[in-house]
Amino acid sequence: MNMAAQQIAAVEAFEQDVLSGLSASRKTLPCKYLYDEAGSRIFERICELEDYYLTRTEAAIFAEQLDNIAARLGEDVVLIEPGAGNCEKAEPLLQRLVSPSGYLPMDISPEILLAARARIQRSLPDLEVVPAVGDFTSALIWQRLPATSGRKVVFFPGSTIGNFTPDAASELLQLFAARLRPGDGLLLGADLVKDSIVLERAYHDSEHVTEAFNKNLLHRINRELDGSFNVDNFAHRAFYHSRRQRVEMHLVSLAQQNVNVCGRTFLFEEGETIHTENSHKYTLTGLQALLNSTGFAPRQYWTDNQQHYAILYAEIH
Ligand SMILES: C[S@@+](CC[C@H](N)C(=O)[O-])C[C@H]1O[C@@H](n2cnc3c(N)ncnc32)[C@H](O)[C@@H]1O
């Protein structure tokens, strides 16, 4: 598929997913659509928030353990990063690795990814950087990756794994495993179960940036799918569901209202919500079990001293 055909397919998929999500008895929208260009920029601001401990904590573990992590990954590695965003986490790792053979970042949001490629090529001019725009949950994008020599390591930081339900996370890791050979690796960053107050503050921050991130999805639907959402008629809600071990993000309708999207009308009752994102939290044992059940043997992990966050390295059996 050429670029134009890919873009048309992406718009069609967005339309189909939004129409089916809003038609469901419990309205929902896939969280990958939060990341258009504006959403990706807002997410960068989230990562800098005091309340959003995830990025800060993961960065501190990387800063402290980078030499150990690089040594663990070994030489001649091809780093594949699904959901790479601005690729800021890969860059120091690539600089520390011994003769990396390539860097293959993937993201659904093209603007930030393509800008990051130019930056990485300036700082690592000898490295082959081949970005891929598309959905990393689809086998298609994995088939489009160039054939490379060297051991492959999938780099999956930022607790993006948490955006998948446990079943979907298991399917996703199996999809990764299917593209890897014995001895290839996975470097995974995941948020751990903790106090619900800390968790809820991260997704309902005092500066209202997560609110802007959530509501941007309605602006996007208005812009791209001829939607008529009055964004002020929806409120941002985020709460920790302890049994499901996840923070759920919703948009709550503040009134009974009709909204048009692509020529179809959807009725919202007052208080009805659109479920826009899950962020699942794991225990260390839960993560190790997930890896073991999807073909990966956990080899090592690193955490902060409060055990708020973990980075795990595993290899295909
Ligand atoms: C939680 S952010 C993490 C970004 C970055 N890896 C980090 O650690 O800061 C998730 C990233 O994955 C991308 N993304 C989410 N779902 C995706 C999907 N299904 N396919 C491709 N990219 C996706 C988003 O655009 C965003 O850049």
Distance from the CA of 137 to the center of ligand 1, in angstroms?
11
- pTM of this structure: 0.96
Q: What's the sign of the alpha-carbon dihedral 187, 193, 198, 202?
A: positive
3-class SS of residue 171: helix
Q: Is the CB of 135 under 6 A from ligand 1?
A: yes
pLDDT tens per residue, range 106-127: 999 999 999 999 999 999 999 9
Does the beta carbon of 33 sit less than 6 angstroms from any atom of ligand 1? no
Phi, psi angles (nearest 5°) of residue 59: -65, -40
Q: Identify the pLDDT of residue 1.
A: 66
The reply to whether ligand 1 has any atom less than 6 angstroms from the CB of 32 is yes
Give the containing element (helix H, strand E) for 185: strand 185-191
Please list the ranges in the chain whose pLDDT falls under 50.
none
Q: Is residue 206 in a domain? A: no
Residue 260 lies in a domain: no
Ligand 1 centre distance from Cα of residue 257 (Å): 32
3-state secondary structure of 258: strand
Residues 6+ away with beta carbon under 8 Å from 286: none
Q: Is 158 near ligand 1, meaning CB less than 6 Å away?
A: yes
Mutate to test the pocket of ligand 1, among 58, 93, 160, 281 (most ligand atoms within 8 A of CB): 160
Calculate how far, in angstroms, residue 161's C-alpha sits from the geometric centre of ligand 1: 10
pLDDT recorded at residue 218: 98
> Which atom from ligand 1 is nearest to the alpha carbon of 109?
25
Structure confidence at residue 67 (pLDDT)? 98
Residue 101, Cβ density class (10 Å: 0-12 exposed, 13-18 middle, ≥19 buried): middle
63 found inside a domain: yes
CB of residue 89 inside a 6 A radius of ligand 1? yes
Domain-located, residue 84? yes
Measured from the CB, is residue 105 less than 6 Å from ligand 1? Answer: no
Residue 43 forms part of a structural domain: no
Q: How far is residue 265's CA from residue 258's CA, in Å, rounded to a whole number? A: 6
When divided into structural domains, the chain yields a total of 1
Residue 46 lies in a domain: no
Backbone angles phi, psi at 184, to 5 degrees: -70, 160
Show the domain range for 309: 53-194+281-316
**Residue 220 falls within a domain, yes or no?**
no
Question: Can you tell me which atom of ligand 1 is nearest the CA of 189?
Answer: 8
Return the DSSP state at 193.
Answer: P
Distance 174 CA to ligand 1 centre (A): 18
What is the Å distance from ligand 1's center to 157 Cα? Answer: 9
In a domain, 251, yes or no: no
Would you say 231 and 240 are in contact if contact means Cβ atoms under 8 Å apart?
Answer: no
- Rg (the chain; Cα; Å): 20
Query: From atom 3 of ligand 1, which residue's Cα is the shortest distance away?
Result: 158
Instruction: Please state, as a whole number, how many other Cβ atoms lie within 10 Å of the Cβ of residue 240.
Output: 21
Total residues belonging to the chain: 317
137 lines ligand 1 (CB under 6 A): yes
Question: Which CATH number goes with the domain that contains 285?
Answer: 3.40.50.150
Q: Given this model, what pLDDT does residue 7 score?
A: 84
Residue 157 Cα: closest atom of ligand 1 = 8
Using CA atoms in the order 204, 310, 157, 214, what is the torsion angle rounded to 10 degrees? -10
| Residue 171, both tokens | 């399917």
